[in-house]
Structure 1
Amino acid sequence: MADFKSSRTVEDGPVPPSPTMSTSPQALDLDHLPDGYYRSINFIGSLVAVCLMAISLYLGFVLPVNSLTAINADLGPDPSYNMITTMFTLISGVAVLLVGRFGDIFGRRYFLIGGQFLGLIGAIVCATAKNVPTVIGGSALCGLAAAVQLTFTFVIAELVPNKARPLVNAAIFITTFPFAAFGGIIAQKFIANTEKSWRWTYYLNIITCGLSVILFAFCYFPPGWNVKHKGDSKLNALKKFDYLGFVLYAAGLILVLLGLSWGGSSYPWNSGHVVGVLVVGFVSLIAFVIYEIFVPLEQPLLPMSLLKNRGYTATVCSALVGNMVYFSMSLLWPEAIQALFTTDAIKTGWLSISTGTGVIVGEIAAGILMKPLGHSKYQLIASTVIITAFSGALAAVNQNRQSLGIAFTAIGGFGVGYLELITLIMCPLYCKPEDIGLASGFLGSAKQVAGTIATAIYIAILQNRLTTNLPRDVSAAALDAGLPKSSLVDLLENVSSGDLSSVPGITDNIIVVVTDAVKTAYSQSFQTVFLASIAFGGIAVIAALFSVPVDEKLDNVVAAKLSGTGASQEAFNETEKTHE
């Protein structure tokens, strides 16, 4: 890897920091790093470990979510099999903020090693499971690991100059491309063509987690406690930690996510289970905000000063609302394919990769173009406009417009990926280098909540529209084609199964007409959902308008330095003291 330097003027050794660089005790200027730093075994090993960690994140979710039916068929049937992915997203969404914050305070080394080790154990549990509850338990461990894996976007970013962060993140996303874009296909191929079927999903995760644990243990030595907090004790830091804030935040988030996951599936939306859980969850989150604002805390979980930063708040809002629009494509496009075009699992997998492929290409493109293009605010605005326009354009898709669906999801996905990358870069640049984990952790946590809310809204809209559209369109088409009115009840009862041959008075011509009417009803229902996503996109665009450019912060400052790669971090800090 290049050293990100046009020239070298400094020998390998302690060098006084530039007076213009960040005042963070960890931050350094690029020119004051030792020669060969970015070619060192420690840096390269850490980079490979982070790439494996990012791959583990996709292996832990994308492949299992496309294997749920096979898992349930093999180990079940068990009505709770959907909890396999729910447990993963629930735990990772809650824990990512805590992981980011603790990493800022205590150092990231042991969190990354421990997180990947948990991922290794979780993958082993799932791969050897004999029943669905065991897979759910393994997924809980994988969810804890995912909270750590989600930090891959800033673990390496803090070790390179700010100006190189977009390019380095693009390189990491390239390594995830096969699983992010083709994860569904890979999962289906495992199920169809291997003796171990869906278990190969977890075997791959065992390999990536195991290798990354080894590399982190031997290569990754970021600034630790002694560098971050000279003169203070870990016990004192633990005493100052905001435990009540975390309890309020975690409890509220878990209850809200559970309520949204249960609503309309496990329980009706108006049931006491859903309403009670949601009310208590939102009350807990409100109490958390009030507590963080009014209670004087030495070490708050989420400093309100961060949310008062207009640039940070606007960028986070753009990211999470844009993520809600993305869910309309990633969640509904595969369903639309099965309802409108094909029920073949492999073909569905190939057609549905358009969104994921677009996202990864967008992330890579943003990493390459963000710094050279400049005008980060306008790039943010443009990406939200693209997402909104092409998500809404999916409303034009019906059973005769498959190519439009592929094109719109690919272009809309590109906008999502572009937005994803630039917000991941922009958000940490609004805060101090030592708070990069906090800024990125809150972003990741908020996006998990937004995605769950979007999923609940979209599913509710789709189900409500289908309840109206299916009986209306199918009945009208069947009667016009000659079906006796007395057979309508039987017809509507059999539509969901797809077997219409037992309906009295049915003919081949009526079956063709009814099949097309079912697709029309689905396309009209999907149309309502995609049009509803425009509202979220509009909010994302408005939030982007209030963002603040970060171009001047894409400079030579390096937030943290690995030890064992030349002069130690402690030596840099000691030298800084002598020049104060």
Structure 2
Amino acid sequence: MVDTKYNADAEALSVPPSPARDVNQQAVDLDELPNGYYRSRNFIGSLIATCLMAISLYLGYVLPVNSLAAINADLGPDPSYSMISTVFTLISGVAVLLVGRLGDIFGRRYFLIGGQLLGLIGAIVCATAKNIPTVIGGSALCGLAASVQLTFTFVIAELVPNKLRPMINAGIFVATIPFAGFGGLIAKLFTQNTEKSWRWNYYINMITCGLSIILYVLCYYPPGWEIKHKGQSRLEGLKKFDYIGFVLYAGDWSWCSSVFVTWGGSSYPWSSSHVIAVLVVGFVSLIAFIAYEIAVPLEQPLLPLYLLKNRGYTATVCSALVGNMVYFSMSLLWPEAIAYLFTTDSITAGWLACSTGLGVIVGEIVAGALMKRLGYSKYQLIASTILITTFSGALAAVNQDRQAYGLAFTAIGGFAVGYLELITLIMCPLYCEPEDIGLASGFLGSAKQVAGTIATVIYITILNSRVAAVLPRDVSAAAVKAGLETSSVTYLLEAVSAGTTTALQAVPGMTDSILAAIGNAEKTAYSQSFRTVFLVSIAFGGLAIIAAVVSVPIDDKLNNVVAAKLSGTGASREELPTNEKEKN
């Protein structure tokens, strides 16, 4: 039970007044809903559709990203094959804010139907592709669909009482376990054991997208334009839309980010002036967008000033996105570490790599079950950021002889990431008015995607630079100590660059004992390089902890208020009644 002073402080700080808006749809109390509302066809059908949409999100990214080598081998080789994953994350990261905001304004029904339709088309394009550019194009469509699919965290949450939002989100995450937790392994099993190989990733996505479209069409009738803006035409609403903000946010940032990720590591080194300049332009564009939203008086801004000024919201978003950057150190580098330190067998590697994903899902489910019961949401946020930082940093101790350490640390760290993910998903929308839930959640999702892209670049740059510095030194020293003539060191380094056992065996003076020493030295060099990256992640974790400390609790908002009501579940398309006070 939360004490009175704690509640009073939260009430004073959590939700500042927002500007008056011509929105007629108001939150209702749980007691005002019709009997049987949550047993109705429309609600149950919408819930199943949203679970399928969440599964589609993982099918659209997790499985394909674990099949990139197989796709390139089948349809390539094409040096641009990595764009299959990057276009997905970039497009979804930019567009999710727009989808959330436009859904708040115009209603979500047709956005969800249209998004899943794009996902279906994208999956068909990828499944039938004959070359890499076609798969990239299909992935772009899947990325657009993902910007809609990412809304699964609040599509159903806004239909249930605030106090049940953690539990309902936990239930949706349960539905995603097979593909969120074992997606990498499933992708490898498809590749090795089916005739259609990697194409099965997209076949399953076609099924989930198709079923969810049917259910959304038949069952999902959230508040639409007529309820949200009674007495105002859609044309008037379109005239008020923040088009300049749209261009600044979506256009500049998405272009700069796309060029940055496309150039970096391929056309130009990550440290080159070309890549750095594009990153700087991207940041400047983002700052220009925020400055415009703050300085220009807009009737319907893309990102309202009151939300940017909300300390609790801003701190929680910062904690979530920086924590997400720490998570990327585990999800991105742990599979790489497995390949370099432990095994090259794809199935075994797939099982080992499940530790992070399963940890995340379990953390999300446990947080959903405990968040409301434990109370003190701010301290739960702080604890989760501390755990993330601790166990991400602890991965620096992993080497070729400590596989168990890696499994334990990624599982516990992943659990903390999942816990953080769930409570920030719940906290952020509660800092704003109910009609802005899509905006609050959309900006959170967008910020996390952008932060993840930046983290990927940072980690890859550090890892590559460390390997380039450490690997030649350690391998040369180990080989000479094992008996290789110094005159053969140059040939050895060329063979190490080639990366094949055949090349190493061809080095003059090579023996089995020297080869074994070289193999162990390579693993040591990679473990030292991974150690540097994991230690760097501690700095991000420290920032996440600071942000969590200055956040504002929202426990008093976990009450009986329901943000939106489906039509056709007792009150048809009537305007929702207005609650005069929140009931706890």
- On whether the aligned pair clears a TM of 0.5, the verdict is yes
Match of 1:248 in 2: 248
- Is 1:555 matched with 2:559? yes
Distance 1:133 1:104, change over 3 A: same
What SS class does the counterpart of residue 570 from structure 1 fall into? coil
Q: CA–CA distance in 2 between the matches of 1:30 and 1:24?
A: 18
Q: Answer with 471-480 or 98-107: which moved more.
A: 471-480
Shift in Å at residue 471 of structure 1? 1.1
Give the partner amino acid of 2:525: A
Contact 2:29 2:579 in 1 (8 A): no
Alpha-carbon shift at residue 278 of structure 1 (Å): 2.4
Question: Secondary structure of the equivalent of 1:573?
Answer: coil
Post-superposition shift, 1:548? 0.8
RMSD of equivalent CA atoms: 1.4
Q: How does 1:560-575 map to 2 (within 5 A)?
A: 560-568=564-572, 570-573=574-577
Deviates more, 1:39-48 or 1:244-253: 244-253
Distance 2:313 2:579 in 1: 33
Q: Secondary structure in 1 aligned to 2:574?
A: helix
Residues 44, 483 of structure 1: alpha-carbon distance in 2 compared, 3 angstrom cutoff: same
CA distance in 2, matches of 1:366, 1:421: 6
Matched, 1:171 2:171: yes
Distance in 2, matches of 1:389 and 1:203, equals 40
How far has the Cα of 1:116 moved from its partner? 0.3
1:6 maps to what in 2?
A: none
Amino acid across the alignment from 1:566: G
CA-to-aligned-CA distance 1:496-545 (integer Å, 9 cap, x gap) = 41321101011111111111011000000000000000000000000000
Determine the C-alpha separation between the residues in 2 that align with 1:574 and 1:254. Answer: 40
Distance 1:269 1:523 in 2: 22
Residue 186 (structure 1) aligns with: 186
CA contact (8 A) 2:293 2:304 kept: yes
Deviation at 1:270, TM superposition (A): 4.8
> In 1, Cα distance between the equivalents of 2:329 and 2:273?
28
Q: Does 1:239 align with 2:243?
A: no
TM-score, L = length of structure 2: 0.93
Task: Verify the 8 A CA contact 1:260 1:453 in the aligned structure 2.
Answer: no
Equivalent residue, structure 1, for 2:414 = 413
Q: Which residue of 1 aligns with 2:500?
A: 498
Asked if the contact 1:59–1:205 (Cα under 8 Å) also holds between the matched residues in 2, the reply is yes
For residue 492 of structure 1, report the CA deviation from its aligned partner.
1.1
Aligned length: 554
Matched residue type, 1:498: T
Structure 2 CA distance, aligned partners of 1:371 and 1:265? 47
Determine the structure 2 residue equivalent to 1:153. Answer: 153
**Alignment map for 1:45-444 (pairs within 5 Å):** 45-261=45-261, 262-271=263-272, 273-444=274-445
TM-score after normalising by structure 1: 0.94
Deviation at 1:571, TM superposition (A): 4.7
Please give the alpha-carbon distance, in whole angstroms, between the structure 2 residues aligned to 1:304 and 1:265.
39
Residue in structure 1 matched with residue 550 of structure 2 by the alignment = 546
Residues 561 and 569 in structure 1, CA contact (< 8 A), matched pair in contact too: no
Distance 1:272 1:378, change over 3 A: closer
Aligned to 2:14: none
State the Cα distance separating 1:269 from its structure 2 match: 3.0
CA offset at residue 272 of structure 1? 5.5
Distance 1:562 1:57 in 2: 24
What amino acid sits opposite 2:27 in the alignment?
Answer: A
- For residues 257 and 249 of structure 2, the distance between their equivalents in structure 1, rounded to whole angstroms, comes to 12
The structural deviation recorded for 1:291 is 1.1
The equivalent residue for 1:14 is none
Q: Structure 1 residue 479: deviation in Å?
A: 0.9
Cα distance, 1:54 vs. partner?
A: 0.1
In 1: Cα distance, 2:302 partner to 2:568 partner: 32
Q: Give CA-to-partner distance per residue, 1:265-299, whole Å, 9 cap, x none.
A: 33223545424422332222222122111111111
Alignment check: 8 A CA contact 1:26 1:223 kept: no
Secondary structure at the counterpart of residue 38 of structure 2? helix
- When structure 1 is superposed on structure 2, of 277-286 and 49-58 the one drifting more is 277-286
Matched, 1:526 2:530: yes
How has the CA–CA distance of structure 1 residues 175 and 266 changed in structure 2, closer, same or farther, with 3 Å as cutoff?
farther
User: Unaligned regions of 5+ residues in structure 2, if any?
Assistant: 1-22
Q: Distance in 2 between matches of 1:304 and 1:407?
A: 43
Equivalent-residue separation in structure 1 for 2:359 and 2:260 (angstroms): 28
- CA separation in 2, counterparts of 1:379 and 1:208? 34
- Structure 1 position 24, deviation (Å): 7.2
Distance 1:50 1:26 in 2: 23
**How far has the Cα of 1:475 moved from its partner?**
1.0
User: Given that residues 565 and 576 in structure 2 are in contact (C-alpha distance below 8 angstroms), is that contact kept between their aligned partners in structure 1?
Assistant: no
Q: For residues 473-495 of structure 1, give each alpha carbon's deviation from its aligned partner in whole angstroms, at most 9, with x where no partner exists.
A: 11111111110001111111112
Report the residue type matching 2:258 in the other structure. Answer: L
Distance change >3 Å, CA 574–CA 339, structure 1 → 2: closer
Deviates more, 1:74-83 or 1:410-419: 74-83
- Which segment drifts farther, 173-182 or 266-275? 266-275
How many angstroms apart in 2 are the aligned matches of 1:521 and 1:331?
A: 18
Q: Deviations over 1:97-118 (max 9, x none)?
A: 0000000000000000000001
**Per-residue Cα deviation, 1:43-81 (whole angstroms, up to 9, x for no partner):** 000000000000000000000001111111111111111
Structure 1: gaps of 5 or more residues? 1-22
Aligned counterparts of 2:116 and 2:364: Cα–Cα separation in 1: 24
Match of 2:39 in 1: 39
Distance, in Å, in 1 between the alignment partners of 2:527 and 2:447 is: 31
Partner amino acid, structure 2, of 1:190:
F
Contact 1:260 1:452 in 2 (8 A): no
Q: Is the 8 A contact 1:255 1:280 kept in 2?
A: no
Percent identity reads 76
- Whichever residue aligns with residue 168 of structure 2, its letter is V
Change (3 A) 1:48 1:466: same
Larger CA deviation: 131-140 vs 384-393: 131-140
Identify the residue that residue 17 of structure 2 maps to in structure 1.
none
Cα deviations by residue, 1:185-232 (Å, 9 ceiling, x for unpaired): 111111111111111000000000000000000000000011101111
